[in-house]
Structure 1
Amino acid sequence: MKLTQNLASEIIGRLTPYIRVPMNLMDPSGRIVASSDPARHMQVHEGAIAVMERGKDLVIDEGNLHEFPGTKKGVNLPIVHRGQMAGVVGLTGEPDEIMQAAGVTKASVEIALEQIYIQRQVFYQERQWENWLHQLLHPREIDEAYLAEEARYTLNTVMEGEWRVLVLQSDQSLSDKSGQLTALLDQSDMKPLFAVPYREYEFIIALHADHESTALAEKILQQSGIHARIGIGERNNGITGLRASYFEAKQALRFSGKDISIADSSDWVVERLIDAIPDEAFGSIALSYRKKLETLEPVYIFTLRELLARNFKIKETADALHIHRNTLNYRLAQIEEKTGLTPGELKDTILIAIILHHIDY
């Protein structure tokens, strides 16, 4: 990574209040790209050129000042980043007096370069994962062989093994929450396959199946301060397993409703099974009964949902509805009379549950 004008200017601006010595930062061509003395900006620094050519420190004093036209007494040190020359830092003054400050400045610049490099790498990798994820979650079909190749050669990842996907869903944008959520994952000693925003209001985390996904979901909601719900998919194998786990997590969020903050797919097996019935098959078998149920007043539909949620326990359902159990029995009798379906009988109960799954209200 090379020292650029924008980066050098920011570094000079931050260091000047603390290092009260005239300071220059030079790019690899020897040009002053930032200086505490604006008059020297963009001048060619002969001392910096020498440092770049020799790859070592240069002290300019009375003895060699004439060798570097346009320079002043001082210390010029090479800035090295990941084994490559990135530029030169120069401080003006008596060399013996400013050598320590020059060393501090050099170290500060090199640390800044490394931090920026890491941030860019993380950002670049996140964009690569986002692109890969969009292909994985294509609504129609995927090319598993292509995705495996992309993962291996672009993302340096092998997709073998079992994974479980967590989907954070929020009514606020999650696109700028990557750093915060990644920090929480680091604190949890969990190394996800990836943790990236997907669209604006979703954030996806893919964990090894052995990790405690529910505990992580609870920690995210408690410590992140993000208002969100989290769906957890089943453990599945490989690339197709990742895709399946994502859609299972989304299903769990859909089935659970807004009052449940963590929805585990394993808690919604019956609903998932019902959801898997093709619309055509459902329509041809259950349409007549659906029409009858849809003619019922909303209070009857609500009563049936409450009854199903409480495993057809009459007293518990009556208490939840704040009605007398006789009133509940009357409603059930009315439902049977209007639809021909008897709530409480196994076959009719299954049919009612399936139809209610397809009714929105």
Structure 2
Amino acid sequence: MKKYGALYDDSMQMHKTDHHMPNIDLPLAQDIVRRTMHIIPFSVNVIDARGVILASGDPQRVGDLHPGAQLALARRASVEIGAADMARLPGTRAGINLPLTVRGEICGVLGLTGEPDAVRQFGELVRAMAEMMLEQARLVSELQHEKRYREEFVFQLVYRTGISDASMQAWAARLAVDLRVPRAMFVLEIPDAGEGPGERLDQVLTQLQQVQSDLSARWPALLMAVVSPGELVLLDAFPASGPQQARATQARQRLLELHQVAQQALTPPATLAMGVALPGLDGATASYESAKQTARVGRARDGEQTTFSYLELSLPVLLSGLQAGWQAEQLRQTLARLQAHDRKSGTLMRTLATWFRHHSHPMATARALHIHRNTLDYRLQKIAELTGLDLDDTDDRLLLYVALQLN
């Protein structure tokens, strides 16, 4: 596979020049001959724009120059070859040569071998059939180019391999992507996809391509790319402002519907994480990084979970940057004595987490733990003694909460 980072110039050139009709390729030429000769009792030749026979009902003629076709190309009109013409054009055979035109451009010639009076009645029929096949091939090629172009754009948003902002903005404009609209990155990951035999990696890549196809069929506006073995990235518009709870609910719904479609094509289990929604080029890159970190934090918290939202894990994701360094060590010390005391049962740590989860509300916490209110008060007092923190003090409570999130 050609490295994505080197493809921008190629892609821009491709889209500058893709209005030119490419040469007819050999498989397509052979298909035209095969299908047309099923419906007419004459030999058919497909000749390229240089006048060279690509495919023929007479295999011996493949690769030969076709003078009649060259004449049709020069005149940009149909040319009939009769007995008199054969005498003055050596190497020709009786028949009709019809230019093949797609979107106003001549791309080759269709030759029917036989007496002109006999083959003339079939000329327009088989030409229309051949041109329809050429147009279909052109459309397929354009769709493949567009898909590749969109994938490269997403790849560059993730890795930004030296392409200027101006070039990226031009690229976005070509794709009708408004960079002012906030977008979130979704990262679909198959754990350990790069490990094991090569056959497994091939299987994973094939399945991810099927996921892309399924998601594109359902949501054509989605931008997607496989950016590494076992990792598919999706870019989707998502609001960056508004009520937090409403956006969190919307994010959860979006994660579930995307994951449901994706998982249908996957044999190994996959996780899907959504990053923060931001506008702009740098915003998309940051969203990818936040989605990756959201997945790491989410899997560490719950190994059974398969979908993770930054909006549900924003604080632990933001705090995860403090996992190393002296700050992290100081935060860990906050819970050190509590964890040492609680090593066997885990009762106090569980109580503390439940207390925070219920917004420090004593009755709700006691009900969740199925204990008496007095038992809860005793445990909270014990937590305060072991940590040396005042649970009624805002700063101490925040310090304890942050330490718990990093635990």
Please, what TM-score do these two structures have when normalized by structure 1? 0.76
Q: Is contact 1:232–1:264 with CA below 8 Å preserved after alignment?
A: yes
Q: Is contact 1:252–1:265 with CA below 8 Å preserved after alignment?
A: yes
For residues 61-111 of structure 1, the C-alpha deviation after alignment (integer angstroms, 9 at most, x for no partner) is 456444543333333222234443322222334223322442233223322
Q: Is contact 2:275–2:309 with CA below 8 Å preserved after alignment?
A: yes
More helix by share: 2
Matched, 1:199 2:228: yes
Matches within 5 A, 1:56-205: 56-62=77-83, 64-93=85-114, 94-126=118-150, 128-136=152-160, 147-154=164-171, 156-157=173-174, 160-171=179-190, 172-173=204-205, 175-176=208-209, 177-186=211-220, 191-192=221-222, 194-205=223-234
Q: Which residue of 2 aligns with 1:357?
A: 405
Matched, 1:5 2:53: no
Q: Is contact 2:275–2:289 with CA below 8 Å preserved after alignment?
A: yes
- Match of 1:195, SS state, is strand
Matched, 1:220 2:258: yes
Q: 1:179 corresponds to which letter in structure 2?
A: S
Aligned identity (percent) is: 20
Matched, 1:314 2:365: yes
Q: Is contact 1:60–1:95 with CA below 8 Å preserved after alignment?
A: no
Give 1:297's match in structure 2, choosing from 321, 343, 354: 343
Please, what TM-score do these two structures have when normalized by structure 2? 0.68
Give 1:48's match in structure 2, choosing from 37, 55, 69: 69
Q: 1:102 corresponds to which letter in structure 2?
A: V
- C-alpha change, 1:293 and 1:49, in structure 2 (3 Å) is farther
1:103 and 1:63 map into 2 onto residues whose CA distance is 25
Superposition deviation, residue 125 in structure 1: 0.9
Matched, 1:283 2:283: no
Superposition deviation, residue 343 in structure 1: 7.8
Superposition deviation, residue 195 in structure 1: 2.4
Superposition deviation, residue 55 in structure 1: 1.5
- C-alpha change, 1:167 and 1:127, in structure 2 (3 Å) is closer
- Match of 1:234, SS state, is coil
Q: 2:286 corresponds to which letter in structure 1?
A: A
Matched length: 343
1:71 and 1:34 map into 2 onto residues whose CA distance is 16
Give the CA RMSD over aligned residues.
3.8
Unmatched 5+ stretches in structure 1: none
Q: Which residue of 1 aligns with 2:278?
A: 236
1:23 and 1:316 map into 2 onto residues whose CA distance is 84
2:35 and 2:358 map into 1 onto residues whose CA distance is 64
Matched, 1:274 2:319: yes
- C-alpha change, 1:246 and 1:314, in structure 2 (3 Å) is same
Superposition deviation, residue 2 in structure 1: 0.8
- C-alpha change, 1:21 and 1:105, in structure 2 (3 Å) is farther
- C-alpha change, 1:267 and 1:355, in structure 2 (3 Å) is same
Superposition deviation, residue 25 in structure 1: 1.2
- C-alpha change, 1:51 and 1:279, in structure 2 (3 Å) is same
**Bigger relative contact order, structure 1 or 2, given CA contacts below 8 A and separation 6+?**
2
Unmatched 5+ stretches in structure 2: 1-21, 191-203, 241-249
1:220 and 1:20 map into 2 onto residues whose CA distance is 53
- C-alpha change, 1:66 and 1:332, in structure 2 (3 Å) is farther
1:61 and 1:214 map into 2 onto residues whose CA distance is 73
- C-alpha change, 1:184 and 1:214, in structure 2 (3 Å) is farther
Q: Which residue of 2 aligns with 1:250?
A: 292
Q: Is contact 1:80–1:86 with CA below 8 Å preserved after alignment?
A: yes
- C-alpha change, 1:283 and 1:268, in structure 2 (3 Å) is closer
